[in-house]
Amino acid sequence: MTTINQSPLPEAAALLNPAFGAYILSHCAAAYTAAATEPGSTLPWPSAFLVLPLILPPDSRRALPRDTRTQLAGWLTDNTMIRAAFPQRAPALHAYTQSCIRFGIRHGALALTDGGLRAARKPAKPDPSEPSEEATTCVRAAVLVGRWFAAAEAATIFTLLGVRP
């Protein structure tokens, strides 16, 4: 058991770094734009706050399918524990997501438009020489979530996840 005075595990500290969160959000926003039916579509602002709570917790990240052939609604039906935990996870990561968005905008990775959030430039791929596969797994999950979100209305996604903007 970890006490309050102990430092977090290196992976946990890296995953909760605003730079890493901005990196994940930029991959998700780029995938959203690429998969959207309307050219130039951006990840809706409220939907950006759903991305990190779906990707960062290890249980939900491990449960994500490999591709978008599995629909979000079907995945949530098969993963009821993740669906049940999401209404607590999303608000818990709200402030962290805000700091990630601010960091991404400040450092030119994300741009805020009238329509929402977009990747300001093509996000770099994870470094394959890294000893941990966490970054690669999170990027793959971000691309999947971006494509899922592009395929559905934001209101539907919020309803499926049991949260409100």
Helices (H), 16-153: 18-35, 45-55, 58-63, 72-78, 80-92, 94-106, 134-150
* Per-residue pLDDT, 125: 83
- Max distance between CA atoms of the chain, in angstroms, equals 50
* Per-residue pLDDT, 131: 57
* Per-residue pLDDT, 124: 86
Beta bridge partners of 38: none
* Amino acid, res. 124: A
> Domain-by-domain residue ranges, the chain?
17-161
Distance CA 15, CA 74 (A): 27
| 16-70 residue pLDDT tens | 799 999 999 999 999 999 999 888 899 999 999 999 999 999 999 999 998 889 9
- The mean of the pLDDT values for the chain is 88
**Segment (H or E) for 1:** none
Q: What's the DSSP call for residue 125?
A: P
* Per-residue pLDDT, 5: 36
